[in-house]
Amino acid sequence: MPRYKLKPTSRFKRLLKKLPPKLKQPVRKALGLLQENPSHPSLRTKKYKSIVGVWESSIDMNNRLLWEYDAAEKTIIILLAVGGHDIL
């Protein structure tokens, strides 16, 4: 049973559809790790400097996930964006 529930925003879903097919499996793996443990070492999770309360986790060296904890329910992770370093 996953520790966190993932809640993608419509923007996240749109960006996910635009990713190249070769990134689909690495994204799935990263999301699985995020759901179990946002601090998993391979995600290299850190606070996103530009926006308070937003975190970034690595998919690979060129792509990342941006997310935040739900304000009311800390076991929900809201997925904000996915892609290269230019996603915001």
Where residue 87 falls among pLDDT bands split at 50, 70, 90?
A: confident
Which residue segments constitute the domains of the chain, with CATH numbers given? 5-84 (3.30.2310.20)
55: exposed, middle or buried (C-beta count within 10 Å: 0-12, 13-18, 19+)? buried
pTM (two decimals): 0.93
SS3 24: helix
pLDDT of res. 51: 92
Whether residue 12 is predicted with pLDDT greater than 90 in this model: the reply is: yes
pLDDT of res. 2: 82
- Tens-digit pLDDT profile for residues 62-84: 999 999 999 999 999 999 999 99
The chain-wide mean pLDDT, for the chain, equals 95
